[in-house]
Structures are given as C-alpha cells and as structure tokens.
Amino acid sequence: MSDVSATQQPSSQAAAFVVICAGVVAALQIGKLPPALPELSQSLRLSLMQAGFLLSLVQLAGMTLALAVGLSADGFGLRRSMLSGLIILGVASAMGSFAQSAASLMAWRALEGFGFLWVTLPAPGLIRKLVHEQQVRKLLGYWGAYMPAGTALTLLAGPLWLPVLGWQSWWCLFAVLSWCMALILWRVVPADTGSSLPLMDATAAASQVSLPTSQIAWPQRLRETLTAAGPWWVALCFAMYSAQWLAVVGFLPSIYTQAGLTGATLGVLTAVAAAVNILGNVASGRLLQRGFHPTVLLSTGFLAMALGSFLAFAELTSFAPWLRYAGVLLFSACGGLVPGTLFSLAVRLAPHERNVSTTVGWMQQGSAAGQFAGPPAVAWLASLVGGWQWTWMATGLCCVGGWLLSILIAKTLNSQGVKS
C-alpha cells in the first residue's frame, strides 16, 4: 500500500474492523446449524452420526481447498476474494433453504464451506495491510474472535427464531446478511493494490523492495510455504483446537435439549458458552502485544481446555450441574487463547509477506480437518458408550497433542529468530 499519513489511520482501522465483521458474518453461516439441529433431525430424520457429519461437512471445502484458495487469494486480491466469498455464502444459504433432504442440504453446506474460505483466508493478510505494524497483533486477536462471535449470536437467536419461523427462513436470513456485508465491505475497504506490505512510514516503505504477489508463480509460493516448518506446526495445532471446540460447542444445544432445556434458557446457556471464547481471543492479542510468549498462551489454553472438559463431562461431576457448566465456560473462555495466538503466529511465521494468505490457508486446512473429524468422532464415542461421559478423554488427547505442538512452535520461533 502507498504512503499513508497518520490522519488516514482512523479510516484504515475502521476498514480493518469491517473485515473482522465480515468474518463474523461468515461464521454465522457455520453457527446457524447447531441450534437448528433438533428441528432438522425431526424434519429430515437425521441420525446422530448424520447430524455430526452435517455439522462438520461445511469444513470439507477447507480440508481439500484451503491451501488452493489461500494461493489464489494472494494473487487474485484480498478484498476481491472476500467479496466473492460473501456472495457465494449468500447464494448457498438461499438455495439451502429449499433443501428437501439431508443430501441436498449437505451439498449446499459444502458450497457454504467454499465461500467461507474465500472470506476468512484473505482476512488476516488484509488486516495486516490496513493497519500499522504496532496494531497488527491486537487486531488479529480481535480477528480470532470472529468464529465464537458468530457462533454465540446464532446460538442466542436460534432458539427464539426457529420455533416461530422455522429453519428455512433461518437460512434465508443469513443469505441476506451475507449480501449486505458484501456491500458494506465493497464501500468501506480500499481496493486491492499490488503491494502486500503492511502500513509503515515512508522511510520504511521505501526500504522494502518486493515483487507484487501476482508476479510470483503459485508453485514458488506453495513451495516456500510447505517447506517451512512454521506453517505445519500452526496448522496441526489449530486442528487439535478446532476438533474439540466444535465438537463440544456444536453439540451443546442437542445435549441440553436432551436434558430438558428449551427456549430462552437453552439459547442463553449455549450462547454464553460460545461467547466467552471471545474473551480468550481478545486477551491473546493484548497479551502478545505486551510481550507474552505465544507458546505460554498456547500451553495455558490447552491445559484449561483439558480441565474444563473433564469438569463438564466426567461422571465425577454429575452431581453438580453448575460445576459442569463452569467447566464448559472454562473450556471455551481459556481455549480462546489458542486461535488468537495462532493467527498472529501464522502471519509472523509465513516465509514472506506474499505467503501470508497461503500460510493462513494451510492453517485453515488443518482447522477444517479437525472440525470435520471432531464432531463425528465425539458422536461415535457417545453412541458407543451410551452418553457423553467419556467426551473428556477425546478432548484431552487433543490437548496433549496441542501442547506438544506448542513446544515445536517455540523451537521454530527460536531457530528463525522471530521475536516473541
């Protein structure tokens, strides 16, 4: 981006917040399903396993296409990619409202996953371009909260909307929101430029010499990304986090419905469980800005998730529902330290500025694999043992894997000389 004076900062920061809001709207498309699962299970006669796959199917595009979309976004243009993704999300959600079978709904969910990638993968790189380097860590912490924010909003509104207006109108609502967000993004966020450098003063900008991303062949950008250790560790670490978070939070409406909760109580409890994840995401950005080492935040997050899951699901706590819910809140809130930290690490461990979206794409591919495998695995375990009491074992294994990967990330940071 060309020279930017201090007077332009407020508008640039406003544009960055619009990018974050676009991520929240994309997350609404993911989060709209959990509160609708009880109604969908009845109307489409879904089994528990089918519900698990429907919950995770939107991640199929992420598993297979995230890296390719990241490569394309780096060359196609970050703003242009986000606009395309929002339009795709609107079309898929609108068409999904006409689904008459589980198969057709799954097909449109897969397309929603494709649109979701086009919105979320370019966003960290675009935020990096829009604001000064000193603000990047804080705003990427905010960006890390886009998923729990969207999930919380849908979990809160769903139990109020769905019994009155049904799931088809619920799908149409998010189609309209996606198209409106595309219009706002088009109006507020500056058009794409050839440079992938973040905002900086004129002297620093003049010292940076880099070919435009569009002039770098995609095989070279792919090779640069996949031959570096950092993108691999953040991708696998994100998989360990996302597999358990979506499995736990995604099934909460069904678990609480089975326990006899309905209406506003169900909506508030599940929405708060998702919303507290925002606290960890925002805290991660602020703590990183104050000098906390990222691996300390990752280790803390995974340790808290392991403890919270045990409190939430172990038979030892069955006598105290309030303690179980406190465990869910601990799991989600402190777990939020993980994604906020990983988004910051993805930007910093990318081999070059031109590889940021590709690195985020690879990380999203790991996240999608985790989200695709996590809910069906937990559903299978619950079906096998006849309840949710062993869920903490599955999430605990993910936490151990995440903690080990945080150690590898620390070694990579030290070997590359990346400042904490």
Model confidence pLDDT, tens digit, residues 173-187: 999 999 999 999 999
**Sign of the torsion angle spanned by Cα atoms 182, 125, 17, 97:** positive
Stronger pLDDT, 305 or 375, i.e. the higher one = 305
Domain 6-194+217-416, what fold?
Answer: Growth Hormone; Chain: A; (1.20.1250)
* pLDDT for the residue numbered 198: 43
Q: How confident is the model at residue 216 (pLDDT cuts 50, 70, 90)?
A: low
- The set of residues, in sequence order, having a beta carbon less than 8 Å from that of 38 and lying 6+ positions away, is 253, 254, 257
DSSP 218-229: HHHHHHHHHTSH
Is the pLDDT reported for residue 274 higher than 60? yes
Among 121, 144, 125, 26, CA closest to 361: 121
* pLDDT for the residue numbered 405: 95
Residues 338, 284: Cα–Cα separation, whole Å: 8
Among 328, 312, 236, 250, CA closest to 53: 250
Q: What does the radius of gyration of the chain's CA atoms come to, in whole angstroms? A: 21
> What would the mean pLDDT of 376-388 be, rounded to a whole number?
86
Stronger pLDDT, 61 or 4, i.e. the higher one = 61
Q: Please state which of the ranges 54-68, 122-136, 241-255 shows the lowest mean pLDDT.
A: 54-68
* pLDDT for the residue numbered 263: 64
Residues 34, 159: Cα–Cα separation, whole Å: 10
* pLDDT for the residue numbered 417: 62
CA angle 288, 360, 126 (to 5 degrees): 80
Is the pLDDT reported for residue 358 higher than 70? yes
> What would the mean pLDDT of 260-287 be, rounded to a whole number?
82
Query: What amino acid is encoded at 350 in this protein?
Result: A
User: In DSSP terms, which residues pair with 132 in a beta bridge?
Assistant: 199
Residues 16, 46: Cα–Cα separation, whole Å: 40
Q: How confident is the model at residue 163 (pLDDT cuts 50, 70, 90)?
A: confident
> What would the mean pLDDT of 293-301 be, rounded to a whole number?
94
0.75 cut: is pTM over it?
no
Please answer whether residues 330 and 307 qualify as being in contact, where contact means their C-beta atoms are separated by less than 8 angstroms.
Answer: yes
* pLDDT for the residue numbered 82: 94
> What would the mean pLDDT of 298-316 be, rounded to a whole number?
93
* pLDDT for the residue numbered 193: 74
Q: What is the pLDDT of residues 75-101, one digit of tens each?
A: 788 899 999 999 999 999 999 988 888
